Amino acid sequence: MKKDSNVIELVNIGTVYEGERLPVIYDVNLTVKLGEFISIIGPNGAGKTTLLETINGLLSYDKGQGFVFGREIKKHKSEIRREIGYVIQNFEMDPLAPFLCKDIVMSGRTGKIGTFRFAKKSDWDKVWYSMGLVGMIDFAKRPIGKLSGGEFQKILLSRALAQNPKLLLLDEPFSNLDYASRKQVETLLNRIHEKYNITILLVSHDLSFVPSRCKRVIVLDHGKIVMDGGREKILKSDIINSIFNGKGEKT
């Protein structure tokens, strides 16, 4: 079965973690078209990370069917992943970690280059280009552990971009950033979306940062999609207030 027109097509998806009984996300139906820029918002523990990792196959779903680029996720994991750029939720980086930024950005291309092949000049060109895109070219030879939160986030983003992805999955790219860096990353995402028409799914627990080019917002709560629609409508609705319990930075 092939579903060609959509980038993502999830039908009644449910994902259970190993050793758990109850699914963390369930009855998830989601259709994403080429070039869409979508924000998925929901409080901590809503299942946002789980949803993203179900889409790129890091977690396998137990119910329903999932397709990415018209291919069933379970059967074509590694091919699908080569076309997906994933920016992982913030993780601790050992300050002494022995990796240079350029090598981390290059590591995004590993799957694309393929086993038994070596990085060519054209691969390095992609690396320099995507580091330039996020304005981090001067950091190429800096150790990865010595970056600020915003710089690290930008390197992870450029790592994903170096992959030339058709789909970008961003897990809380604004967390741990101050206002100025958030703005920078937001502008960057808008620009990338405008320029390359990449399909973007952006996960955030914070209502106040929905980038301007993002026209569709999905609200996830307790593992279910509770709202899905145009940005204006959703951000103004009442349900959002109750879900975020007045904790959303903005209403």
Partner 1 sequence: MIDFPSTLLITSILGALFAGFACSTTGAFVVRMNLASIGYLMSHAAFAGAAFGLMISIDPVLGAIIFSFGIALILGPLAEKARLESNIVIGFLFSFMIALAFIFLNFIPGNAASARALRILWGSIFSVSTNDLVMLSIFSFIIVIFVVIFYKELIAIMFNRKLAESSGINTRLYYFAILFLTGIAVSLSIRIVGGLLVFALIINPTSTAYQFFYDFKKIFIFSPIIGIISCLVGFWLSLISDFPIGASIVLISAIFFTIAIIFSPKRKRGKLKIHQKAS
Contacts to ligand ADP by CB under 6 A? 17, 20, 24, 42, 44-50
**Binder of partner 1 out of 71, 159, 166, 193 (CB under 8 A):** 159
Residue 65 or 90: the one with the smaller Cβ distance to partner 1 is: 90
118 part of the interface to partner 1, by CB under 8 A:
yes
Determine contact, residues 133/161, Cβ cutoff 8 Å. yes
Cβ 111 vs Cβ 82: under 8 Å? yes
**8 Å CB contact between 124 and 106:** yes
Which CB, 111 or 248, lies closer to partner 1?
111
Q: Is the four-CA dihedral 139, 210, 31, 20 of positive or negative sign?
A: positive
Give residue number: closest CB to Mg ion: 49
Any contact of residue 176 with partner 1 (CB under 8 A)?
A: no
Structure tokens at 218: 């999905």
Of residues 91 and 179, the one with the C-beta less far from Mg ion: 91
Considering the rule CB under 8 A, would residue 247 count as an interface residue with partner 1? no
Out of 125, 178, 194, 232, name the contact with partner 1 by CB under 8 A. Answer: 178
Q: Which of residues 60-79 bind partner 1 (CB under 8 A)?
A: 78-79
Q: How many residues does the chain have?
A: 251
- Of 5-13, 60-68, 137-145, 196-204, the segment contacting partner 1 by CB under 8 A is 137-145
* Separation in Å, CA 138 to CA 106, 148, 156: 15, 14, 15
Query: Taking the CB of residue 194, how many other CB atoms lie within 10 A of it?
Result: 11
How far CA 211 is from CA of 22, 31, 100, in Å, comes to: 33, 20, 30
CB of 161 to partner 1, least distance (A): 12
Is residue 221 part of the contact set for partner 1 (CB under 8 A)?
no
